[in-house]
Amino acid sequence: MSRRMLLAAAMGLGLLWLFPPEMAAAAPRLDAGVIKAGLRTAAPEEDGFVERVVELVDQGVLPASLVDSTFEWARKKTSHRFQYFKKAMILRASRIGVRL
């Protein structure tokens, strides 16, 4: 083995030691503050909608993956991020029988 390969293997093992796979499962979900900042909410009504969505995730009514993927999609929009998020969340939630 070359020195580069040995060094790469040693670094990989070191990273596994520092960040074991169990830590990935313990990563926190998006919270209301992160979503509000990412969508740049401006009105109390917008903040309330985000808080309600996060509350429904915490209650197990909405899947976290649905909210996370919708947030990531809306966050990439250049403007009106919250409006994209809200409309998509209402549509996607209704498809699984949840009314927002």
User: What is the structure's pLDDT at 50?
Assistant: 97
Q: pLDDT digit of tens for each residue in the chain (100 aa)? A: 566 665 555 555 555 555 555 554 444 567 899 999 999 999 999 999 999 999 999 999 999 999 999 999 999 999 999 999 999 999 999 999 999 9
User: What is the structure's pLDDT at 27?
Assistant: 45
**CA within 13 Å, CB half, 29:** 15
Contact 59, 53 (CB under 8 A): no
75 by Cβ neighbours in 10 Å (0-12 / 13-18 / 19+) ranks as middle
User: What is the structure's pLDDT at 30?
Assistant: 75
Q: Residue 71's closest CA among 63, 57, 81?
A: 81
Cβ count near 89 (within 10 Å)? 23
Task: Look up the pTM and report it.
Answer: 0.71
